Structure 1
Amino acid sequence: MNLFSFVECANQTQSLKALFDLLVSCASEEGFTEVAYGALTFAEPLRLPGCPPPLVAIKVPPDWCQRYLERKYYIVDPVVRRTPMFAGPYLWDELAKEHQLQACEQRVLQEAREAGLKHGVSVPLFGPSGRISVISFASRCDDADPQRNVKHLNALAWHFHIAFAEIARPSDRVSNRKVSLSEREKDCLRWVAEGKSSWEIGKILNVSENTVNFHVKNAIRKLGSSNRTQGLVKAIRLGLIEFAEPALVTPMVA
């Protein structure tokens, strides 16, 4: 299932469980069958049964889930503790290598690996009023490569996060009546959806890299977003851009 299909399905549900099951299904297609969603800096009123704060929804091996909750590992979990330090997705392997984790944090990661969560990636998710959430994806495969999948998992996480906010807090919903993007802004976002850099988009559209950044930043501002991924997700959810259109874009003067 591609990201646009995920958005279409997500728009048709008002159930957190159905939305989370959809996320797990999509991540599983990438080889990441274990998924957890948590709200780190605020109390999220909507959560799946059996998930104490900061957890909102979780799908991991039952034995590990029971141990994690009974021993209150969410208090010392390095993902919970250190996600606010990151601006974007990070790999668990890098977390352990690049940061001096406390013994209790190392123990959580080690026991998670022993329980079958062998390779993971976490995505920090930012919202209004300083809200920080996180979605973690883990694979049970020894040869899983989260680095190869991180862009897609990052986009999936943001799609889920925004859809969940619309269920839990309808006032957060962005109205397409309030958002109007120029054709150039749409062109740039379409190519962002294809994974192109500003330099690459500039070459495709025959404009400068600075011009691309200008249009992308304008679009992000109009969409009330904090980064490219969040802005792209909102544009897709509002139906402002479509996946197939980049191939039809022709260069024109900015």
Structure 2
Amino acid sequence: MDLFSFIDCANRSKSLPALFELLVDCSCQQGFSQVAYGALNYNEPVRLPGHPMPAIAINFPWHWRKHYFDRKYHECDPVVRRTPMLSKPFMWDHLLKREQLNPNERLVMEESREAGLKHGVSVPLFGPLGRISVLSFASTFNDAEPAQNVHRLNVLAWQFHIAFAAIAQPAQPVKQSVGLSDRERDCLRWTAEGKTAWDIGLILNISENTVNFHVKKAMRKLGTTSRTVAVVKAIRFNLIDLPGRLDSTTRT
């Protein structure tokens, strides 16, 4: 399953287990078959069976999960500790190389690699009322290249997070009355394709500043300060077409 099929299927999913299976299927295509979703500072009533806090959904190897929770590694896991301090996806390799980890933190990272989680990417996820979650993708391959997959994994994480919230709290109506201008939709579509503001400016024959202006307006309308979340919400609310289905012609 590719990224855009995942977005389409996730928007129609009605259960957390099915949604998580979709997530795993899609992340596998990026070379990251191991996935963990956790709530860091709140108790989430909807979770897969047998998953103690802070895990909500996880398919990491069973022996590692038992080892991890038996020793309460989530209390010293550098991924868990650093997620609230970061706003963008981060790679586990960078934690080992660039961060000053204490012995317990380094032990968690080294043992996770020995358990088969060779490389990982974690995406901080922020919600209402100060809620903080994290979605981590890990690869069992020594030659995995997380840096090349960060953009797609980031979109995957946010789409899953938003879809999960819709399933967990179905009684809350979803606002779909947001109105985007044609130019705002154009800019978000190309942002979804991974284009920079400079790239989009060339495609649409407008300045980079104008692109940023339209994207920021769309972000405000969609109630987010993140471009990635704006794209995910716009797709979920059917305000823009799925990426990869853009017409060859664009507005001037």
Q: Give 2:80's aligned residue.
A: 80
Q: Give 2:195's aligned residue.
A: 196
Q: How many residues are treated as equivalent by the alignment?
A: 251
Q: Give 2:54's aligned residue.
A: 54
Output one character per residue of 1:9-47: Cα deviation in whole Å (capped at 9) or x when no partner.
112222111111110111111110110001112221211
Q: Give 1:235's aligned residue.
A: 234
Aligned residues of 2:193 and 2:244 also touching (Cα < 8 A): no
Q: Distance in 2 between matches of 1:159 and 1:104?
A: 33
Q: Distance in 2 between matches of 1:2 and 1:193?
A: 14
Structure 2 residue identity aligned to 1:193: A
1:217 aligns with 2:216: yes
Q: Distance in 2 between matches of 1:141 and 1:244?
A: 28
1:118 aligns with 2:127: no
1:207 aligns with 2:211: no
Structure 2 residue identity aligned to 1:105: E
Aligned residues of 2:219 and 2:225 also touching (Cα < 8 A): yes
**What is the aligned-residue identity percentage?**
60
Structure 2 residue identity aligned to 1:150: V
Q: CA RMSD, aligned part only?
A: 1.3
Q: Give 2:104's aligned residue.
A: 104
Q: Distance in 1 between matches of 2:7 and 2:98?
A: 35
Residue 70 of structure 1: how far off its partner (Å): 1.1
Between 86-95 and 243-252, report the one with greater CA deviation: 243-252
Residue 88 of structure 1: how far off its partner (Å): 0.4
Residue 5 of structure 1: how far off its partner (Å): 1.2
Structure 2 residue identity aligned to 1:41: N
Structure 1 residue identity aligned to 2:188: L
Aligned residues of 2:2 and 2:29 also touching (Cα < 8 A): no
Q: Distance in 1 between matches of 2:12 and 2:175?
A: 16
**TM-score, normalization: structure 1?**
0.95
Q: Distance in 1 between matches of 2:221 and 2:169?
A: 20
Residue 99 of structure 1: how far off its partner (Å): 1.2
Distance 1:29 1:120, change over 3 A: same
- DSSP 3-state at the match of 2:116: coil
Task: List runs of 5+ in structure 1 lacking aligned partners.
Answer: none
- DSSP 3-state at the match of 1:214: helix
**TM-score, normalization: structure 2?**
0.95
Q: Distance in 2 between matches of 1:174 and 1:184?
A: 24
Q: Give 1:11's aligned residue.
A: 11
Residue 173 of structure 1: how far off its partner (Å): 5.3
- DSSP 3-state at the match of 1:42: coil
Residue 127 of structure 1: how far off its partner (Å): 1.0
Aligned residues of 2:135 and 2:157 also touching (Cα < 8 A): yes
Output one character per residue of 1:178-231: Cα deviation in whole Å (capped at 9) or x when no partner.
211110000000110111100111111111111100100111111112200000
Residue 94 of structure 1: how far off its partner (Å): 0.4
- DSSP 3-state at the match of 1:47: coil
Structure 2 residue identity aligned to 1:209: E
Aligned residues of 2:47 and 2:57 also touching (Cα < 8 A): yes
Q: Give 1:185's aligned residue.
A: 184
